[in-house]
Amino acid sequence: MKAAEQRNEIEQQALERSNQLTDELVASDVLVLAAPMYNFAIPSTLKAWLDHVLRAGVTFKYGETGPQGLLTGKRAYVLTARGGIYAGSSLDHQEPYLRQVLGFVGIHDVTFIHAEGLNMGGDFLEKGLNQAKAKLAQVA
């Protein structure tokens, strides 16, 4: 947000990286995210990407009625991998959070495909993968 003449070299480089990632997102029709669940939420690398692309005046703006997403007309697919089973539970801070931030920039058409129970042993791994594959086939 700093004026160009006030930015030091490191800040300028950070802005260029953010511009690159934001341009890529703005130019896309479909966003595909793949993320493991880490501590009930998203990995820090995905959070860093979000921090680069949620940009006031570029991907959202504040209008008279509050914030308004500028990335309209896009779809998103989010594939998650989880050691346990959390879909639909209050412990799932991944799907609700991603729905909120994607919606904030105007992406409301979001489909989640969860591969769950991958670290639970027994038949859980096979069942979790099969369910995710079935959902993928349905979506594709």
| The one segment of 19-27, 46-54, 67-75, 80-88 that binds ligand FMN by CB under 6 A | 80-88
Cα–Cα distance measured from residue 45 to residue 51, given in angstroms and rounded to the nearest whole number: 10
When asked if residue 103 is in the footprint of ligand FMN (CB under 6 A), the reply is no
User: What residues form DSSP beta bridges with 30?
Assistant: 75
Terminus-to-terminus CA distance in the chain, angstroms? 40
Question: In this chain, which stretch among 46-54, 57-65, 81-89, 123-131 interacts with ligand FMN, using CB under 6 A?
Answer: 81-89
Q: Which two tokens stand for residue 29?
A: 């029709």
Asked if 90 is part of the footprint of ligand FMN (rule: CB under 6 A), the reply reads: no
- On whether the CB atoms of residues 20 and 53 are closer than 8 A, the answer is no
Residue 97 binds to ligand FMN (criterion: CB under 6 A):
no
Binding site for ligand FMN (CB under 6 A): 36-40, 81-84, 86, 118-119
